[in-house]
Structure 1
Amino acid sequence: MNNKLQSFQDSQHAFCDWIRDPKQPIPQSFETERMRVYRELLFNNVSSFIDLVYPVARSILPKETWQCLLDEFFQKSINQSPFYNEISLQFREYLSEQQHPVLQDYPWLAELLQYEWLELYLDTLEISEKQCVQAPVWQFKTQVWVLVYQYPVYRWAINQTDLEQDPSAIMVWRNQNDQVCVEALSPLFAFLIEKLHQQPLSEFELCELISATLPDLSSHEILLQVNTLSNLLTQLELIDMPKNSITED
């Protein structure tokens, strides 16, 4: 029985090794044509999951480069989940963990893969409404993410040709209609929104933060920044302004 079990396990390993790398000899106990068909189905299935999540990256990279990345990922990675969104994440993490040379050849690629995967993540994430705090503070009604990029990957489309650097910050969230939304931010607003995301803050605390960050601003200029941020977040339906707000005066 042990010999039979060992023989079966050896066959399994040989089968999986060939599925990953068809350059190896096909195990004698398997039919060549069936093996090829089975591998093609598996490879195409995994590749389609990745292609679906990263259409912009796929369109910008040379076809040969993208195909090599898919081949290498299929051959060398150890996938822990059959779900397409997790396979696409594992593809991105594989390149990052391996410090893959392609990330050096195309310095914008890591950010583009991260942003394209984030769109899928937000589209499938279960987001619960936040409990409102009964106090005169600013508080987000839903979860938001502040991201900083060296390349404006959030603006890129399929077959993008302008790949120049343009450092910027954005806020990403999913609105009440389950649409993924993106808003470009100034460095100051990115900093304040990140603080607000961590905990609700009063307008006085926001003013103090601005004063500490930009000490050369006058009181009037600080209030102007707070008012502008208030208008932006209210217009985007991300916060409900507290009553007796400074910005209402």
Structure 2
Amino acid sequence: MNNAQPKSDFKNKQAEFAAFIRDPANNPCPADVKRQRMATYRELFFNNVDSFLSSNFPVLRKILDDRQWFELAQDFFSSHACRSPYFSEIPEEFLDFLQNERNDPDDYPFLLELAHYEWVEMALSIAQDHIEPPESGFGENLLRHHIALSPLAWPLAYQFPVQQISPQFLPEQPPEQPTYLVVYRDYDDEVHFLQINAMTFSLLQRIQQSNGVLTDALLTRFAQELGHPNPAAVKEGGLQILREMAAKGIIVPQCD
């Protein structure tokens, strides 16, 4: 009956403790804890998050100097309320922060896209999905198969050529043409990045959006919609692309 006040006090102390850990520059140190001890706690918490971000976003870390990186990591640490307690989900929380909370005009214009590109590799590497190699002859008889996009293959479009960004290449404006990629995990659970063109990206999107489609029907319709004067050539070119994708595990047989 009379324990409401202690619970309230504990919550207040917990909030005070967390506020200082997150942002000691703008929050007071708890009065009943030595400042040196709080500084140690703060360093441990922040360094863990900082290390995890650095290891999951190595290119982003490399293109920022120490001050820029610290300010970015500190902004995330102090202002973003993570919804997950798992360290493996911190990169996704960081993306959410960049997309919805970060607002610094000095950031590189490709910052979010680069972070997403780096996050994809980690996300695919730990994804729970698994694909089995198809039966022999799948690629050769692809026209007669209903196909699907592997759950471990993600077609992506970026304004910037994110795969080229480095300390030596920091574009200020996006090029006229977007960058199309498919990131996939193969049958040996290795993650790969493959640059593709707009037509291949469109083809993969159509497969992704359909609930299993006969390859022959897909390519026939695709050639017709393009309005190409030689639809047979378009169909043959599309078939070759899909066979190459099937060999990599990007295209798989549609499960019954």
Paired residues, what number?
A: 238
Unaligned runs of 5+ in 2: none
Structure with the greater relative contact order (CA < 8 A, sep ≥ 6): 1 or 2?
2
* Counterpart code for 2:109: P
Determine the structure 2 residue equivalent to 1:124: 126
Match of 2:161 among 149, 152, 168: 152
Structure 1 stretch displaced more, 65-74 or 141-150: 141-150
1:130·1:142 contact (CA, 8 Å) conserved in 2?
A: no
**Whole-angstrom CA distance in 2 between matches of 1:70 and 1:116:** 16
The aligned residue for residue 169 of structure 1 is 180
Q: Which amino acid aligns with 1:221?
A: A
Query: Which string of whole-angstrom CA distances, capped at 9 and with x for unpartnered residues, describes residues 123-181 of structure 1?
Result: 0001133898x992341473221111111213445x34253634221111100111111
One-letter amino acid of the structure 1 residue matched with residue 50 of structure 2: S
Query: 2:220 maps to what in 1?
Result: 207
- Give the counterpart letter for 2:24 in structure 1: P
Structure 1 CA distance for aligned equivalents of residues 238 and 146 of structure 2: 11
* Aligned ranges 1:1-249 → 2 under 5 Å: 1-23=3-25, 24-102=27-105, 105-129=107-131, 136-140=144-148, 142-143=150-151, 144-156=153-165, 159-163=167-171, 165-166=174-175, 167-198=178-209, 199-202=211-214, 203-212=216-225, 214-239=226-251
Mean Cα deviation higher: 17-26 or 37-46: 17-26
Query: Alpha carbons of 1:223 and 1:99: their partners in 2 closer, same or farther (altered >3 Å)?
Result: same
- Per the normalisation by structure 1, the TM-score is 0.84
Aligned-residue offset at 1:109: 0.9
Q: Using the alignment, how far apart are the partners of 2:6 and 2:51 within structure 1?
A: 37
Superposed CA RMSD in Å reads 2.7
Q: Percent identity?
A: 27
Contact 2:228 2:234 (8 Å CA) reproduced: no
Distance 2:149 2:16 in 1: 54
Classify 1:175/1:155 alpha carbon distance in 2 versus 1 (closer, same or farther; 3 Å).
farther
| Partner AA of 2:87 in structure 1 | Y
Structure 2 length-normalised TM: 0.82
Q: Distance in 2 between matches of 1:128 and 1:109?
A: 31
Cα deviation, residue 9, structure 1: 2.8
